[in-house]
Structures are given as structure tokens and as C-alpha cells.
Amino acid sequence: MSGVLERRQARAAWFFLAPALALIGFFFFLPILGGFVLSLTDFDIYAIGSPEIARFVGARNYAQVLHGWEFWNALRNTIYFVIVGGPLSVLASLGAALLLSARLVRLKGLFRTAYFAPVVTTLVAVAIVWRYLYHPRYGFLNYALGALGVGPIDWLGDPRWAMPAIILLAVWKNFGYNMLILTAGLQSIPEELYEAAEVDGASAWRRFRSITLPGLAPTFLFVGVITMIGYFQLFAEPYVMTQGGPLRSTTSVMLLMYEEGFRWWRMGKASAIAFLLFAIVLAGTLAQLRMRREAR
Amino acid sequence: MTRRRPRGFLLHAVVVLGGLATLAPLLWMAGASFMQTGEANTYPPRFFPSEPTFEHYVHLFTRLDLARHFLNSAVVTVSVTLVSILVNAMAGYAFGKLRFRGRDRLFRLLLAGMMIPAQAGMLPLFLLLKQMGLVNTYLGVMIPSFASIFGIFLVRQYVLGVPDDLLDAARIDGAGEVRIFRTIVIPLILPILVTLGAFTFISAWNDFMWPLVVLSDGAKYTLPVALASLAGEHVQDTELMMAGSLLTILPVLVVFLLFQKVYFRGMMAGSIKG
């Protein structure tokens, strides 16, 4: 291809890229960098009217956040949600994916749609629905548990049960997503492997352990990373269902950031919280990637 | 064969039970939204209304002006969907089919950005929009969603399958790049654009945190934000809240059911090769 044509194509390329790059650069990457700068200032409600009065305070916001009880409490709640809720979600997804991939099951498409439906629903709306399902007296969950002989649980009113309640909602809402990705992973495992193992007389459990699980390993990595990143951003569930209570037991880092930033307008401090969370998520992602590499 | 039948039966029982358990909260929501006031708060709890009524829906549309918020959401969602299809299609095409210096490095940089939670920049983004006078406007709600890295990625993967010969032939015939994009590329990648549209529609409709932050005027609230604020005032009105929740979920559920196939296909394309 001649130089003129090449140049023409490059010009066209930048023309096609311009809107997307401008939007993403200006409204995504720039604010991320800006967030770090903001976290080093004392930007507060007075600075919103006149930004020039905000002063550079170095690492003071970070020191303040890390010395306070609030951040560690929120981080503990969020990690509880990620560490318990994440694996539970993936497990539920795996169970559903295996179930719907079984050769004997009919009407797979129909059931897949049903299992997936919660994923597309509006989180705010289903959080409101679940708030009533968790009602200690009239809620369906306690009614069902009562039938099994389990006493009434004050799901959203008891600090010990509020986070498990939010986890249960999150598992229900999200398992369909990973189910679908794991289904695709299952389909990529060659059928011959199973046939050969069956001929060799391997039990179903053995086939699962020696063929299915290793075959799904790359998919698990993907699912693990996106689930973790998503779960660290826990916000709407506690915002709608518990407002972070009772006794701050469901206040997540995102909720704390929202309160600091948009309720009290302490933007500097809130940015420090956002950045700490970002650093933790990044560390978690890299740790998962490394674990995977070492396992290989 | 005889040994398989009981196992198949058991398997189906589990699958059906799982499906019912998954849909139960949504079914209860639908049932409760038609119940008489107070009926959802009785013991034992009920699934079906004894005397179905539309009063809560009427209440939502008359006294609570839900139609307004429905319209707000519709305008925001449809605009975001249309604009982002165009913007992402253009960028995805450039990354997939046009040659220019630094292309691969730029693309990798964008992909790395996918690992950053967008919320990390939420506070400066708010201040930025405030400077631009876009706080408490629909444009402020929409503008960060007009381009998405995921969308560009999705289009780019699909565009790679368009044969180069076709584009080069058009170039030799003297067609300009914009015309090639409009008349050859767009029709060929239409399926992935539909997928992208369904994705964008659903996530824009469901978006909560950003509109909550940007909009301060209650009349401008999108449906999820309005619903959350309603839920605070009407905690006791279970049936009313269920009607509101159902109306909020309905559009995305319909879009999902209509575009299910392309939606699933897009998810696979976005995950497997990623």
C-alpha cells in the first residue's frame, strides 16, 4: 500500500476514534487521576463554591482515614461480603451450570432464561422486594424457615444477620451471570475426554475432578476476578435495605465514600477512601492472577 | 435405559425447584402488587391476591407521578443506547480494521482500564460536571456512559471477521472512509450492534449510583432513584412498593426476553476471548 493511502487511513482512524477517546479520556481516565490529586487536598463543602480555597494537605486524609474506626469497619464489612459472598456466588453458578449442562435435562433454554432473569433486574427494585421477604413476621423467608423448625430471624435488624441477608440477595441476583460464562467453559471441554474416561470406568466424581475442574480453570480465573471487582463495589444493597445499619454492620466502603463525599461533602477524605479501595481491588486482582500463574 | 429414568426424573425435579426458587421473589412481587392494602402483611404470607386490585398502580400514576420518572428513565436510557452504539461502533471499527501507529498499545491501555472500578473517579467526575454546569441535568447523567471500553472491545472482536478485501475493493472504487463505514461495515456488524444495544439499554436503565449523585431535583429522578426515595417514605406500603418495583423491572425484563439470544451471545464474546 502506498504512503498516501496509509496516511489517509490513519487520518480516518483518528476521526473514528476521536469521540470515544475524548469521552473515555475526559470522563473516565482524567477523573481517576483527578481523584488521586483530590485525595491530597482538604476539599470540602466550602471549596465546592470556590475551588481555589482548597489546600494541599499531603497524606493527611489518608492518615485520618486509616486512624479512624469507620474505614476499618467498612473494609471489614466489605471483605466479609467479598470473601463469603464471592465464593458462594461462584459455587451457586457452578452448580447451576453443571445442572443445566447435564445431558438428560430438557428445555435447557427455558431454565437458563429463568435462572438468568435476576441478573437483568434493577438492583434497587429487587433490594426493595427482598427487604419485605426478610420481614421478621410476615416475610416469606422466615415462614419457610419456620416450616423447617428454624426460629424467626430478624434478618435486617440484627447486626449478625444483616450482612448474610445482603449476601443471600447478591447470590440470588448474580449467580446467573457466572452460570452462563461457566456453561460456555463447560462446552469448550472436548466431549471425547469424558467418553474416554467413561470407557476406562472412571466414576462421575472422578470425571468431575480430573476433567471438568481443570478444564474450567481459565474460566474460574475470569469469573473470580470480575466477581471480586464487582463485589468490592457493594453499594445499592445496603443503601436501600439497611442504610448501612444496624450498628453500621453493613456499611460498605463505597457507602462510606458516598456518605463522606456526597452527604457531608468532604471530597478530599472521600477520595482517599475511594483510592484505598481501588488499591485493594488492584492488589486482589494481581494476587488472583499470580496464584493462577503459580498453579500452572 | 431403565436405570436412567429415575435419575433423569430427580435431575428435572432439582432443575424445576431451582427455577421456582429463583423466580419466587419476582412472582411474589407481582402477586403482592395486586393485593388489597395490608394483605401482603399477613400471616401466613400469601403468593396470590385474594381480590386483585389495580389501585396501587393507579396510585403510582396519579398521586405519585411515576409516569414522569418512567419518562425520565426512558429518555436517558434510549439516548445513551443510541449514542453509545454509534460511538463504540466507530472506535471498535478503527481498532479492528484501520491501520495507524500506536494502535495496539492504545488498545491495550484501554483494556487495562477495564480493571479499574469506575467509582474510583466518581468524586472528581462530579466536580468536573459541576464546572461544566452539567450537575442536575440529564446530559450529566448520560455523558459518562456515551462511550464504553467494553463496547469498543465487543465491536472490535466482531469487526475482525469482516474481510479486508471487501473494504479494499471499495477504497479502490474511490469510496471515502466514512462512506465505507456507513454502507459496508455497519450492515455487516449489525448483529453485534444489536447485542451492544441490548446490553447498554439494560445497564443504563438499571444504573443507580451515578444518577443518585448527579440529580438533586426530585422531579428529574430516574426510575430507580425515584423508587429508592419512595421506598424511604412508604416503608409500610408493601403493595404499593411492589407495584413500583414491578414497573421498574418490567422494561428491562421485556428487553432481555426479546433480545435473549443476542444478549447471551454478547456475554460469551465478551468473556471467552477476554
Poorest-confidence range of A234-238, B42-46, B227-231, B239-243? B42-46
Which numeric CATH code is attached to B57-272?
1.10.3720.10
Number of H helices, E strands in chain B: 14, 0
CB neighbours of residue B50 within 10 Å? 11
The model's confidence at residue B103, banded by pLDDT at 50, 70 and 90, is: very high
Would the pLDDT of A28 be above 90? yes
Would the pLDDT of B70 be above 60? yes
Q: Do B124 and A277 touch (CB under 8 A)?
A: no
User: What pLDDT, on the 0 to 100 scale, is given for residue B273?
Assistant: 43
- Pair B39, B46: CB distance under 8 Å: yes
Of residues A3 and A117, more confidently modeled: A117
Interface size between A and B, measured as CB pairs under 8 A: 280
Residues of B in contact with A133 (CB under 8 A): 25, 28
Domain segments of chain B: what residues?
1-53, 57-272
Which tens digit of pLDDT belongs to each residue from B47-68?
889 889 999 999 999 888 899 9
% of chain B surpassing 90 pLDDT: 74
Poorest-confidence range of A187-196, A286-295, B7-16? A286-295
Which numeric CATH code is attached to A60-295?
1.10.3720.10
Domain segments of chain A: what residues?
3-53, 60-295
Would the pLDDT of B114 be above 90? no
ipTM of the complex, rounded to two decimals: 0.91
CB neighbours of residue B247 within 10 Å? 20
Question: What mean pLDDT comes out for the span B203-221?
Answer: 95
Residue type, A43: F
Question: What mean pLDDT comes out for the span A215-220?
Answer: 90
For A6, name the nearest residue in chain B, comparing CA atoms only: B99
User: What pLDDT, on the 0 to 100 scale, is given for residue A97?
Assistant: 94
Q: Do B127 and A275 touch (CB under 8 A)?
A: no
User: What pLDDT, on the 0 to 100 scale, is given for residue A296?
Assistant: 64
Would the pLDDT of A295 be above 80? no
Question: What mean pLDDT comes out for the span A127-150?
Answer: 91
Residue B230 grid coordinates: 419512595
User: What pLDDT, on the 0 to 100 scale, is given for residue A204?
Assistant: 86
Interface probe for B, chosen from A24, A89, A278 (most Cβ of B below 10 Å), is A24
User: What pLDDT, on the 0 to 100 scale, is given for residue B156?
Assistant: 94
Our CA-based measurement puts residue A57 at a distance from the nearest CA of chain B, in whole angstroms, of 17
Which tens digit of pLDDT belongs to each residue from A50-99?
888 888 998 999 999 999 999 999 999 999 999 999 999 999 999 999 99
Residues of A in contact with B19 (CB under 8 A): 111, 114-115
User: What pLDDT, on the 0 to 100 scale, is given for residue A213?
Assistant: 92
Assessment of whether the complete model's pTM goes beyond 0.90: yes
Q: Do A20 and B40 touch (CB under 8 A)?
A: no
Would the pLDDT of A1 be above 60? no
The model's confidence at residue A246, banded by pLDDT at 50, 70 and 90, is: very high
Residues of A in contact with B243 (CB under 8 A): none
